[in-house]
Amino acid sequence: MASIDEIRKTNLEKLELLKKNGMNPFPSSVKRDHDLKFVVENFADLEKKGEISLAGRIMSLRSLGALTFFNLYDGTAKFQALAKKDKMSVADFELFEKTASIGDFVEVQGTLFTTKTGEKTLEAKNWKMLTKSIRPLPEKWHGIQDEEERLRRRYLDILFNEEVRDMILKRSKFFASIREFLSSKGFLEVETPILENVAGGAEARPFVTHHNALDLDVFLRISPELWLKRLMIAGFPKVFEIGRDFRNEGMDAEHLQDYTAMEFYNAYSDYNEGMKLIKEMYKFIAEKTFGTLKFKIKDFDIDLGKKWESYGYVETIEKMTGVNVLKTDLKTIEATLKKLKVEYEKKGFNLTRGIDNLWKYCRRQIAGPGFLINVPVSMEPLAKRMEKNPELVERFQVILAGSENGKGFSELNDPIDQAGRFAEQAKLREAGDEEAQMNDTDFVEALEHGMPPTFGFGLSERLFSFFMNKPARECQIFPLLRPKKQ
Q: Do 163 and 120 share a structural domain?
A: no
Say which residue, 173 or 141, is predicted with more confidence. 173
Give the mean model confidence (pLDDT) for residues 217-237.
96
Q: Do 120 and 163 share a structural domain?
A: no
Cβ-based neighbour number of residue 337 at 10 Å: 19
With CA atoms as reference, report the closest residue to 300 among 399, 398, 407, 396. 399
- Per residue in 246-255, pLDDT (tens digit) is 999 888 889 8
Q: Do 62 and 108 share a structural domain?
A: yes
Q: Do 278 and 193 share a structural domain?
A: yes
Determine contact, residues 96/68, Cβ cutoff 8 Å.
yes
Q: How confident is the model at residue 144 (pLDDT cuts 50, 70, 90)?
A: low
- Per residue in 25-74, pLDDT (tens digit) is 999 999 999 999 999 999 999 999 899 999 999 999 999 989 999 999 99
- Report yes or no on 316 lying in a domain: no
How remote is the C-alpha of 436 from its chain's centroid? Answer: 26
Q: Do 184 and 108 share a structural domain?
A: no
- Per residue in 275-302, pLDDT (tens digit) is 999 999 999 999 999 999 999 999 999 9
Determine contact, residues 421/471, Cβ cutoff 8 Å.
no
With CA atoms as reference, report the closest residue to 398 among 248, 281, 267. 281
Instruction: Compute the distance between CA of residue 175 and CA of residue 461 in angstroms, rounded to an integer.
Output: 9
pLDDT of 310 above 50: yes
Q: Do 209 and 301 share a structural domain?
A: yes
Can you give the pLDDT at residue 234? 98
Determine contact, residues 384/395, Cβ cutoff 8 Å.
no
Determine contact, residues 152/161, Cβ cutoff 8 Å.
no
CATH of the domain at 266: 3.30.930.10
- Report yes or no on 188 lying in a domain: yes
Q: 34-55 burial string, b = 16+ CB within 10 Å, else e?
A: bbbeebeeeeeebeeeeebbbb
Instruction: Compute the distance between CA of residue 305 and CA of residue 291 in angstroms, rounded to an integer.
Output: 13
Neighbouring-strand partners of residue 105: 57, 131
Can you give the pLDDT at residue 156? 92
- Per residue in 392-450, pLDDT (tens digit) is 999 999 999 999 999 999 999 999 999 998 888 888 878 887 777 778 889 999 999 99
Show the domain range for 207: 158-308+368-475
- Report yes or no on 213 lying in a domain: yes
pLDDT of 141 above 50: no
Q: Do 259 and 169 share a structural domain?
A: yes
Q: Do 378 and 243 share a structural domain?
A: yes
Q: Number of folded domains in the chain?
A: 2
CATH of the domain at 22: 2.40.50.140
Say which residue, 382 or 214, is predicted with more confidence. 214
pLDDT of 113 above 70: yes
Q: According to the 3-state scheme, what is the secondary structure of 394-451?
A: CEEEEEECCEEEEEEEEECCCHHHHHHHHHHHHHHHHCCCCCCCCCCHHHHHHHCCCC
Cβ-based neighbour number of residue 163 at 10 Å: 10
- Per residue in 475-486, pLDDT (tens digit) is 999 998 888 876
- Report yes or no on 223 lying in a domain: yes
- Report yes or no on 16 lying in a domain: yes
Q: Do 177 and 59 share a structural domain?
A: no
Give the mean model confidence (pLDDT) for residues 301-311.
96
Can you give the pLDDT at residue 177? 98
Q: Do 280 and 221 share a structural domain?
A: yes
Q: How confident is the model at residue 216 (pLDDT cuts 50, 70, 90)?
A: very high
Can you give the pLDDT at residue 233? 97
Domain boundary among 82, 115, 131: 131
Q: Do 220 and 81 share a structural domain?
A: no
User: How confident is the prediction for the chain on average, in pLDDT?
Assistant: 93
Give the mean model confidence (pLDDT) for residues 169-179.
98
Domain boundary among 131, 150, 166: 131
pLDDT of 209 above 50: yes
Q: Do 178 and 105 share a structural domain?
A: no
- Report yes or no on 145 lying in a domain: no
- Report yes or no on 218 lying in a domain: yes
- Report yes or no on 83 lying in a domain: yes
